[in-house]
Amino acid sequence: MSTRREILKAATAASALIASPSLVFAQAAPTRARTLRAVMHGDLAAFDPIWTTANMASYHGGLIYDTLFGIDSQYRAQPQMVQSFNLSDDRKTYTFVLRDGLRFSSGEAVTAKDCVASIRRWAARDGGGQHMFRRVTDTPVVDEKTFRIVLREPYPLLIDWLAKASTNVCYIMREKEALTDPQTQITEYIGSGPFIYNRTESRQGARYVYDRNPNYVPRSEPASFMAGGKVARMDRVIMENMADPQTQVAALQAGEIDFVEWPSLDLIDTLEKDRNIKLEVMNQSGTMGWCRLNHLHPPFNNVLARRAMLYLTHPTEVMKATFGNEKYYRGCGSIFACNTPTENDANTDWFKGGQNIDRARQLFREAGYDGRPVVLLSASNVQHMTNAGLLYQQWLRAAGVNVELVTSDWGGVVARRANRNPPDQGGWNIFFTSASGSAYSNPVALAGHASNGANAWFGWPTDEKNEQLRDAWAAAATPEERMAAARAMQENAWNYVPHVHYGQWLQPSAMRANLTGMIGMPELAPFWNVGRTG
Partner 1 sequence: MLAYVIRRLFSTLLVMAMVAVFVFLLLHLSPGDPAAIIAGDNATPEAIDGIRQKLGLSDPLPVQFIRWIGHVLQGDLGVSIFSNEPVLKLVGQRLEPTLSLALTTLVVAVTLAISFGVLAAWKAGTWIDRVLMVISVVGFSVPTFVVGYLLIYLFAIELRWLPVQGYTPMSEGLDGWARNLVLPSIALGLAYIALIARITRASMLDVLSEDYIRTAKAKGVANESMLLKHALKNAGVPIVTVIGIGVALLISGVVITETVFNIPGIGRLVVDAIAKRDYPIIQGVILIFSGVYVLVNLLVDLTYTVIDPRIRY
Partner 2 sequence: MSVATAPAPSVPRFRPWRFVRRNPTLVAGAVILIVMALLAVFAPLIAGDPIRMQPAQRLRPPSAVNWLGTDSLGRDVFARTVYGARVSLMVGLTVAFLSVGIGLMIGLLAGFFRTADTIVMRFMDGLMAIPAILLAIALVSLTRASVTTVIVAIMIPEIPRVVRLVRSVVLSVREAPYVEAAVAGGAPTWKILLRHIMPSTFPPLIVQATYICASAILIEASLSFLGAGTPPDIPTWGNMVASSRLFLSRAPWTIFAPGLALALVVLAVNLVGDGLRDRLDPRLARRM
Closer to partner 2 by Cβ: residue 36 or 377: 377
Question: Minimum distance between the CB of residue 411 and partner 1, rounded to whole angstroms?
Answer: 5
Give the gyration radius of the chain's Cα atoms: 24
Q: Is residue 83 at the binding interface for partner 1, with CB under 8 A as the rule?
A: no
Q: Given the complex with partner 1, which of 228 and 437 has the nearer CB atom?
A: 437
Site string for partner 2, 288-327 (x = CB under 8 A): -----------------------------xx-xx--x---
- What is the Cα–Cα distance from 329 to 120, expressed in whole angstroms? 39
Tell me phi and psi for residue 255, to 5 degrees: 75, 15
40 CB contacts (<8 Å, ≥6 apart)? 56, 59, 239, 240, 241, 261, 262, 525
State the nearest-atom distance from the C-beta of 250 to partner 2, in Å.
11
CA angle 377, 382, 385 (to 5 degrees): 45
Minimal distance, residue 292 CB to partner 2, in Å: 19
28 part of the interface to partner 1, by CB under 8 A: no
Which of 22, 88, 276, 381 contacts partner 1 by CB under 8 A? 381
For helices 303-312 and 479-496, angle between their N-to-C axes, nearest 10 degrees? 100
DSSP state of 365: H
Indicate whether 52 belongs to the interface with partner 2 (CB under 8 A): no
| Distance (Å, whole) CA 157 – CA 353 | 36
- Rank residues 40 and 312 by Cβ distance to partner 1 and give the closer one: 40
Considering only 14, 18, 415, 513, the residue that binds partner 1 (CB under 8 A) is: 415
DSSP 492: H
With CB cut-offs between 5 and 8 Å by kind, which of partner 1, partner 2, none does residue 433 bind? partner 1
Interatomic CA distance for residues 114 and 21, integer angstroms: 29
Question: Distance (Å, rounded) from C-alpha 357 to C-alpha 367?
Answer: 15
The listed partner (partner 1, partner 2, none) that binds 176, CB under 5 to 8 Å by sort, is none
386 binds, among partner 2, partner 1, none (CB under 5 to 8 A by kind): partner 2
DSSP string of 120-138, one letter each residue: HHHHHH-HHHHHHHTTEEE
Listed ranges 41-49, 70-78, 105-113, 321-329: which one lies at the site for partner 1 (CB under 8 A): 41-49
By CB under 8 A, name the one of 83, 185, 270, 468 that touches partner 2: 270
How many CA atoms are closer than 13 Å to the CA of 524, on its beta-carbon side? 31
Does 269 participate in binding partner 2 (rule CB under 8 A)?
yes
Please tell me whether residue 13 binds partner 1 under the rule CB under 8 A: no
Report which secondary-structure segment, H or E, holds 348: none
Under the binding rule (CB under 8 A), the answer on residue 429 touching partner 2 is no
Query: Should residue 357 be labelled a site residue for partner 2 when binding is judged by CB under 8 A?
Result: no
Q: Tell whether residue 93 is a contact of partner 1 (CB under 8 A).
A: no
Query: At 5, is the secondary structure helix, strand, or coil?
Result: helix
What HEC string does 139-170 produce?
CCEEECCEEEEEECCCCCCHHHHHHCCCCCCC
Question: Distance between CA 23 and CA 450 in Å, rounded?
Answer: 48
Q: Does 266 bind partner 2 (CB under 8 A)?
A: yes
Distances (CA, A) of 205 to 201, 292, 350, 495, 524: 12, 31, 45, 45, 20
The number of CA neighbours under 13 Å toward the Cβ of 440 is 29
Question: In what helix (H) or strand (E) does residue 7 lie, and over which residues does it extend?
Answer: helix 2-27
Helix (H) or strand (E) run with residue 195 in it:
strand 195-203
Quick one: which segment of 44-52, 71-79, 321-329, 387-395 binds partner 1 (CB under 8 A)?
Answer: 44-52
Number of amino acids touching partner 2 (CB under 8 A) = 29
The reply to whether 264 sits near partner 2 by the rule CB under 8 A is yes
DSSP-derived 3-state class of residue 521: coil
Angle at CA of residue 43, ends 38 and 46, nearest 5°: 120
> For partner 1, which residue of 97, 281, 447, 475 counts as binding (CB under 8 A)?
447
Site string for partner 1, 454-493 (x = CB under 8 A): -x-xx-----------------------------------
Residues 53-82 that bind partner 1 (CB under 8 A): 53-54
Kindly give the interhelix angle for 479-496 and 464-475, rounded to the nearest 10 degrees: 170
- Position 47 contacts partner 1 (CB under 8 A): yes
Using the minimum distance from each CB to partner 1, give the nearer residue, 30 or 412. Answer: 412
Assess 253 for contact with partner 2 (CB under 8 A). Answer: no
Counting contacts by CB under 8 A, is residue 256 touching partner 1? yes
> Any contact of residue 272 with partner 1 (CB under 8 A)?
no
Q: What is d(CA 81, CA 75) in angstroms, rounded to the nearest whole number?
A: 17
Please report the beta strands in 204-332, taking only residues with DSSP state E, as ranges in sequence order.
207-212, 236-240, 259-260, 277-281, 287-293, 329-330
Among 78, 192, 334, 378, binds partner 2 (CB under 8 A): 378
Which parts of this chain interact with partner 2 (CB under 8 A)?
245-246, 264, 266-267, 269-270, 317-318, 320-321, 324, 378, 380-381, 386-387, 389-391, 393-394, 405-409, 411-412
Q: Which residues bind partner 1 (CB under 8 A)?
A: 43, 45-47, 51-54, 125, 127, 167, 181, 183-185, 187, 203-207, 240-244, 246-247, 250-251, 253-254, 256, 381, 408-412, 414-416, 418, 433-435, 439, 446-448, 455, 457-458
